[in-house]
Amino acid sequence: MAGVSLSVLIVEDDDRVRQSLRLALEDEGYRVAEAPSAEDALDSLSRSGAPDMMIVDLMLGGMDGFSCIRGVRQHSDVPIVVVSARVDTHDVVAALEAGADDYVTKPFQIKEITARLRALRRRATAGQPADVPAEVVLDSELGEPLVLAEAAGQVRRGERVVHLTLTEFRLLCELASVPGRVLSRQALLERVWDRGFFGDERIVDVHVRRLRTKVEQDASNPRTVVTVRGLGYRLDVR
């Protein structure tokens, strides 16, 4: 793919899977690095910084993929796609709650992986409409306003930057684009994930829970990202 020069770190302990992914991604124009373990991946990030994207297997020798993702999230918001043979819903939800952005099950087609990476790239580089305001105050109560600066790709609580993953940020932006209006889970899947995720709308619930822990004053009693039972979610500006 001409013009693509993004870097991808593959964290996979199966040599054959790792090599096939590397060759396919290099054919797409990505710069690819490999880590056969979570420990190697975290060491690489501490030495060289985060890549543009990561692909992480869950079943790794030593530290597992869940721990790897949590370790990455302590320092980086790099988009992460999980590739795993584990198909149980609990595993999918656990990986997403750990901080993954997307989940692909093995066996997989290479074109599915590259499609997921392209979707993440589109989310990261999507241009903003001309009428998007520079900043929007979402919550002005309790002394420290919650501010969304969509064009700058930033959310602040007072003077503190709130670190969101790419998916969490896009989810907040979509809700903020229609304040006071309910967006169904399916609508959010189509807007944020392009074409949905396994047809399972619970993916939205997982990311909303993570988002609330970062932007709500009290995540157990959300007042900004509000659930409308049976319909979806609504963003209330206060």
Contact 225, 179 (CB under 8 A): no
Domain ranges for the chain, please list them: 7-125, 136-235
Give the C-alpha distances (Å, rounded to integers) separating 137 from 47, 147, 157: 37, 4, 10
Note if the pTM is more than 0.75: no
Cα–Cα distance, 25 to 41 (Å, whole number): 18
One digit per residue, pLDDT tens: the chain, 238 residues? 444 578 999 999 999 999 989 998 998 889 999 999 999 999 999 998 889 999 999 999 889 999 999 999 988 888 899 988 887 878 888 888 898 988 888 888 888 888 888 877 776 655 444 455 568 888 887 778 999 988 788 899 988 999 888 889 989 999 998 999 999 998 898 888 765 444 467 788 989 999 999 999 889 999 999 999 989 999 998 8
What string of H, E and C letters represents the secondary structure of 32-66? EEEECCHHHHHHHHHHHCCCCEEEECCCCCCCCHH
Q: Return the CATH fold of 7-125.
A: Rossmann fold (3.40.50)
136-235 CATH pick, 1.20.1250.20, 1.10.10.10, 3.40.50.11740, 1.20.210.10: 1.10.10.10
Give me the phi and psi of 141, to 5 degrees please.
Answer: -85, 165
